[in-house]
């Protein structure tokens, strides 16, 4: 049974957590994630979940406690944003290397400094190389759906990695949206029980976790994490298919929007993809062959899916809501450009950094990007790779 | 109280093959503490430091029970998570066995970088035991000072130099700070008295809620004494009142041992290379300052424990 409800992104994610009913949640409040923690606390207080809620004194401890709980054999979660994720940074690597399937929403917010509470993706991009699977969500519906799928992805025996579910702070977390939620029983059956192979609370089979590796093992262990990331791509697709069967909504590695015959495309994560799709619809009316590629999965990077979706376009603009300070543009730009390089068909790939610290991406900004792409297609030349959108210079 | 013979029958949870230096206090402390858990199922948490690095070199482990290390500053939080998992799974009937939880951290991982995580774990009231293996410096990274390092000690970041004679500040009083968390049980003990360690560890395992034990755990490398003299040296720490043995149970302070006579601090300092420079002419004032600190703390402790104050001889 499906239910249409009008709720915010944070409420949707808290709802998903309630339906997943994890054994342990350890979390610390931070804007714009705070509501998730508050709402979930009320589920605990009212006996609507079986969860032990650990009200830690910091996000570093939140991930540490989630690690302890997950290692002990529990289904464990946390949730955070921005500085909280930055403070967790060390532990995200460790959660991954311990191969613990911890699921955690990340309500994307700009990193200090200067301190800012609004949306960008600098928090998520800070842990992109930590060995965590990163799902991105265009709206509250996707955030909800991703949460439920994340459990299955994380706990799949071929994967066993932490999964973060990203959605845009305020834009998605606080805006009211109409979405479909599944009934409790359907979610319960879909996520099933967590059955770890080795865990601390197995009295018959004690285990040591978090050992010290020398150069004789460390490298192999890292390679195994890469193999798990690789395996995750297939698992994400399989879980997406199963989820479609219960929800009617399709989920893959990327969302290719009107790209089949497109000559120009923008690549963009999360809520901005919604705006870009709107602009694409308008431009299509005018006869322009344009489309949007929205990676749903950023880590592992869906290299082949990106190639496949973009192989026929002539010019691509990658929109990054984060800086790298490398002077080579945003983090996604590097990955998309790398993916397209070997196609050897001279696709022009340029970058726009946009929306830092919560600055709006206006429809005319996206139109300008397509204008620029049209000029590049016409002239066959792209002179400026790194651009800033909606910025006073 | 069990006899030594009986204790020897408890299965070892920390076994041979680890790479702690010969005579390291940590191995002794850990075995004594875990022995008091008797036949319970135990999960050990551990902060980064000598103990962890020396006992879990992959693919080996010196732990005969479940063990988890995740990082340096979070043994308190990590074991909290394990305990929360236990509570949750037990409540839901997903596991049936009982468990006890203990985390070990060095003084660096406890007094300093792990202080916040420990404080949080204690405040939340998890049913865990936290044991600080206090060797008074960051030994694993090469003997740097910590807030547990005694005044005057020569460490690699408080080197005894021409102008500065070692560490300038007195020790942080962590055991008292833990007692101030109003946890059911906080205690300080030393390996020179196995009965005291055993009794306190047992009590810590038995109380409902968080317990903290601070155990003086000498490091022959960092302290530079004759390795086989470890027990003698710890006795001196206790006899000089440098390391009093006491416990705070449900807010009630109790002194567990009162030295018969006044032993000057030099007796503890002298055998250790880290204090050698203090005995050079010109550094007498440092020893005086250390003695003053020890005397003042002892007096304050006596008062807290409701004992008659003793004044040091003039
Ligand atoms: C965040 C972090 N900072 C620094 C270190 C380096 N480090 C590892 S062990 C250690 C010192 C350990 O000292 P202590 O806790 O007293 O334990 P000991 O080795 O003396 O038993 C340090 C500084 C680390 N592993 N992690
Ligand atoms: S350096 Fe000190 S603390 Fe570390 S193993 Fe050796 S004796 Fe023990
Ligand atoms: Mg130490």
Summarised one tens digit per residue, pLDDT across range B77-94 is 999 999 999 999 999 999
Which 8-state DSSP code applies to residue B121?
A: H
Q: Which ligand is nearest to the CA of B106?
A: 1
**Ligand 1 pocket: which of B19, B25, B28, B49 to mutate (most atoms <8 Å of CB)?**
B49
Nearest CB to B53; choose among A24, A66, A212 = A212
Q: Look at residues A293, A296, A301 and name the one whose alpha carbon lies nearest to residue A128.
A: A301
User: Considering the domain boundaries, does residue B313 fall inside one?
Assistant: no
B11 touches chain A (CB under 8 A): no
Per-residue tens of pLDDT for chain B, all 314 residues:
778 888 888 899 999 999 999 999 999 999 999 999 999 999 999 999 999 999 999 999 999 999 999 999 999 999 999 999 999 999 999 999 999 999 999 999 999 999 999 999 999 999 999 999 999 999 999 999 999 999 999 999 999 999 999 999 999 999 999 999 999 999 999 999 999 999 999 999 999 999 999 999 999 999 999 999 999 999 999 999 999 999 999 999 999 999 999 999 999 999 999 999 999 999 999 999 999 999 999 999 999 999 998 877 76
Binding site membership of B107 for ligand 1 (Cβ less than 6 Å):
yes
Residue B113 C-alpha, separation from nearest chain A C-alpha, in angstroms: 12
Taken in order of first residue, the domains within chain A and their CATH numbers are 2-247 (3.40.50.970), 254-389 (3.40.50.920)
Give the tens place of pLDDT for each residue, A325-341.
999 999 999 999 999 99
Strands A348-354 and A315-320: parallel
User: Considering the domain boundaries, does residue B268 fall inside one?
Assistant: yes
Between chains, do B80 and A61 touch, taking CB under 8 Å as contact?
A: yes
Binding site membership of B135 for ligand 2 (Cβ less than 6 Å):
yes
Distance B147 CA to ligand 3 centre (A): 10
How many distinct structural domains can be found in chain B?
A: 1
Binding site membership of B70 for ligand 1 (Cβ less than 6 Å):
no
Binding site membership of B146 for ligand 1 (Cβ less than 6 Å):
yes
Per-residue tens of pLDDT for chain A, all 393 residues:
569 999 999 999 999 999 999 999 999 999 999 999 999 999 999 999 999 999 999 999 999 999 999 999 999 999 999 999 999 999 999 999 999 999 999 999 999 999 999 999 999 999 999 999 999 999 999 999 999 999 999 999 999 999 999 999 999 999 999 999 999 999 999 999 999 999 999 999 999 999 999 999 999 999 999 999 999 999 999 999 999 999 999 999 999 999 999 999 999 999 999 999 999 999 999 999 999 999 999 999 999 999 999 999 999 999 999 999 999 999 999 999 999 998 988 999 999 999 999 999 999 999 999 999 999 999 999 999 999 999 998
Tokens found for residue B249:
């149970």
Contact (CB, 8 A) for B211 and B129:
yes
Binding site membership of B291 for ligand 2 (Cβ less than 6 Å):
no
Contact (CB, 8 A) for B109 and A53:
no
Which amino acid residue places its CA nearest to atom 4 of ligand 2?
B50
Tokens found for residue A44:
């605990």
Give the pLDDT score at A1: 57
- The Cα–Cα gap between B138 and B146 comes to 6
- The Cα–Cα gap between B111 and B212 comes to 12
Contact (CB, 8 A) for A31 and A81:
yes
Binding site membership of B224 for ligand 2 (Cβ less than 6 Å):
no
B93 touches chain A (CB under 8 A): no
Cα Rg of chain A, angstroms: 21
Binding site membership of B20 for ligand 2 (Cβ less than 6 Å):
yes
Give the tens place of pLDDT for each residue, B56-82.
999 999 999 999 999 999 999 999 999
Between chains, do A76 and B66 touch, taking CB under 8 Å as contact?
A: no
Give the pLDDT score at B314: 65
What atom in ligand 2 is closest to the CA of residue B106?
Answer: 3
- The Cα–Cα gap between A289 and A36 comes to 40
B86 touches chain A (CB under 8 A): yes
B17 touches chain A (CB under 8 A): no
Residue of B78, B91, B92 best to disrupt the A interface, most CBs of A under 10 A: B78
CATH of residue B260's domain is 3.40.50.970
Residue A64 C-alpha, separation from nearest chain B C-alpha, in angstroms: 5
What atom in ligand 1 is closest to the CA of residue B133?
Answer: 21
Tokens found for residue A320:
């990054």
Which whole-number Å values give the CA distances from A144 to A7, A109, B99, B247, in the listed order? 11, 18, 36, 51
Residue B199 C-alpha, separation from nearest chain A C-alpha, in angstroms: 25
How many A/B residue pairs have CB atoms within 8 Å? 174
| β-bridge mates for residue B184, sequence order | none
What atom in ligand 1 is closest to the CA of residue B50?
Answer: 19
Binding site membership of B24 for ligand 2 (Cβ less than 6 Å):
yes
User: Considering the domain boundaries, does residue B235 fall inside one?
Assistant: yes
User: Considering the domain boundaries, does residue B92 fall inside one?
Assistant: yes
Q: Look at residues A258, A254, A305, A263 and name the one whose alpha carbon lies nearest to residue A278.
A: A258
DSSP-derived 3-state class of residue B138: strand
What atom in ligand 1 is closest to the CA of residue B114?
Answer: 15
Q: Nearest-CA residue of chain A relative to B87?
A: A52
Which amino acid residue places its CA nearest to atom 2 of ligand 2?
B219
Q: Return the C-alpha torsion angle B75, B81, B84, B89, nearest 10.
A: -130
Which domain range does residue B77 map to?
4-304
User: 110-149 in B: which are within 8 Å (CB) of A?
Assistant: 116-117, 119-120, 123-124
**Ligand 2 pocket: which of B18, B26, B148 to mutate (most atoms <8 Å of CB)?**
B26
Residues of B in contact with A214 (CB under 8 A): 57-58
- The Cα–Cα gap between A66 and A69 comes to 5
Longest dimension (CA), chain B: 68
Contact (CB, 8 A) for A349 and A333:
yes
User: Considering the domain boundaries, does residue B253 fall inside one?
Assistant: yes
Between chains, do B70 and A55 touch, taking CB under 8 Å as contact?
A: no
Nearest CB to A210; choose among B41, B69, B92 = B69
| Alpha-helix residue ranges (DSSP H) falling in A156-264 | 184-191, 218-247
Q: Look at residues B131, B135, B129, B136 and name the one whose alpha carbon lies nearest to residue B150.
A: B136
Which amino acid residue places its CA nearest to atom 5 of ligand 2?
B20
User: Which residues are near ligand 3, the ion (C-beta closer than 5 Å)?
Assistant: B 106-107, 135, 139
What burial class does residue A357 get, using C-beta atoms within 10 Å of its C-beta: 0-12 exposed, 13-18 middle, 19+ buried? middle
Dump strand ranges (E) for chain A. Answer: 2-8, 24-26, 52-54, 76-77, 103-108, 133-137, 163-168, 176-182, 208-209, 254-257, 264-267, 290-295, 297-299, 315-320, 348-354, 386-389
Identify the H or E element spanning B255: strand B252-255
Core vs surface per residue B136-175: b (16+ CB within 10 A) or e: bbbbbeebbbbbbbbbbbbbeebebeeeebbbeebbbbbb
């Amino acid at each position: 049974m499906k239910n249409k409800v009008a709720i915010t992104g944070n409420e949707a994610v808290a709802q998903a957590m309630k339906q997943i009913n994890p054994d342990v949640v350890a979390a610390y409040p931070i804007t714009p994630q705070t509501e998730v923690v508050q709402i979930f606390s009320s589920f605990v207080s009212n006996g609507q979940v079986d969860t032990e809620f650990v009200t830690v004194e910091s996000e570093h401890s939140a991930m540490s406690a989630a690690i302890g709980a997950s290692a002990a054999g529990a289904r464990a979660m946390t949730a955070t944003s921005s500085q909280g994720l930055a403070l967790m940074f060390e532990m995200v690597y460790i959660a991954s290397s311990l191969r613990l399937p911890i699921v955690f929403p990340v309500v994307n917010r700009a990193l200090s400094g200067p301190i800012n509470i609004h949306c960008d993706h600098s928090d998520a991009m800070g842990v992109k190389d930590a060995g965590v699977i990163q799902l991105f969500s265009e709206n509250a519906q996707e955030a909800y759906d991703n949460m439920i799928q994340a459990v299955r992805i994380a706990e799949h025996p071929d994967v066993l990695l932490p999964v973060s579910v990203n959605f845009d702070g305020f834009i998605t977390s606080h805006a009211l949206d109409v979405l479909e939620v599944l009934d409790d029983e359907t979610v319960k059956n879909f996520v099933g029980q967590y059955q770890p192979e080795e865990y601390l609370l197995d009295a018959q089979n004690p285990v040591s976790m978090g050992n010290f590796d020398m150069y004789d093992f460390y490298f192999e262990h890292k390679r195994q994490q890469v193999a798990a990331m690789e395996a995750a791509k297939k698992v994400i697709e399989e879980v997406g298919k199963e989820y479609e069967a219960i929800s009617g909504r399709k989920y893959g590695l990327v969302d290719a929007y009107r790209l089949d015959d497109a000559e120009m495309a923008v690549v963009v994560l999360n809520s901005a993809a919604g705006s870009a799709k709107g602009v694409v619809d308008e431009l299509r009316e005018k006869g322009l062959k344009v489309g949007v590629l929205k990676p749903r999965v950023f880590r592992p990077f869906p290299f082949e899916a990106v190639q496949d979706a973009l192989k026929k376009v002539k010019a691509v603009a990658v929109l990054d809501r984060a800086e790298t300070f490398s002077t080579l543009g945003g983090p996604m730009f590097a990955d998309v450009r790398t993916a397209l390089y070997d196609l050897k068909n001279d696709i022009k790939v340029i970058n726009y950094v946009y929306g830092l610290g919560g600055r709006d991406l206006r429809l005319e900004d996206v139109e300008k990007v397509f204008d620029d792409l049209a000029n590049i297609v016409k002239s066959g030349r792209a002179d400026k790779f790194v651009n800033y959108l909606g910025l006073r210079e | 109280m069990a006899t030594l013979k009986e204790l020897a029958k408890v299965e070892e949870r920390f076994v041979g093959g680890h790479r702690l230096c010969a005579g390291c206090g940590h191995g002794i402390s850990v075995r004594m503490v875990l022995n008091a858990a008797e036949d319970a199922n135990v999960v050990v948490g551990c902060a980064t430091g000598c103990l962890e690095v020396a006992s879990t070199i992959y693919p080996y482990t010196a732990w005969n029970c479940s063990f988890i290390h995740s990082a340096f500053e979070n043994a308190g939080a990590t074991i909290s998570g394990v305990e929360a998992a236990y509570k949750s799974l037990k409540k839901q009937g997903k596991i049936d066995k009982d468990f006890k939880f203990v985390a070990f951290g060095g003084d660096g991982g406890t007094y300093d970088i792990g202080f916040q995580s420990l404080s949080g774990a204690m405040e939340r009231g998890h049913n865990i035991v936290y044991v600080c293996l206090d060797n008074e410096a960051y030994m694993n990274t090469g003997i740097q000072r910590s807030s547990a390092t005694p005044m005057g000690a020569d460490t690699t970041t408080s080197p005894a130099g021409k102008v500065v004679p070692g560490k300038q500040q007195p020790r942080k009083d962590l055991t008292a700070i833990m007692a101030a968390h109003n946890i059911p049980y906080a205690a300080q003990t030393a390996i020179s008295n196995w009965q005291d360690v055993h009794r306190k560890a047992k009590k810590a395992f038995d109380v409902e809620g968080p317990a903290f034990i601070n155990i003086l755990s000498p490091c022959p490398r960092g302290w530079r004494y004759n390795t086989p003299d470890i027990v003698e040296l710890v006795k001196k720490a206790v006899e000089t009142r440098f390391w009093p043995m006491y416990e705070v149970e449900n807010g009630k302070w109790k002194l567990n041992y009162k030295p018969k006579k006044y032993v000057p601090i030099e007796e503890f300092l002298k055998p250790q290379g880290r204090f050698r420079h203090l005995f050079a002419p010109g550094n007498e004032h440092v020893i005086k300052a250390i003695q003053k600190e020890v005397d003042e703390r002892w007096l304050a402790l006596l008062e807290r424990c409701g004992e008659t104050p003793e004044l040091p001889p003039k």
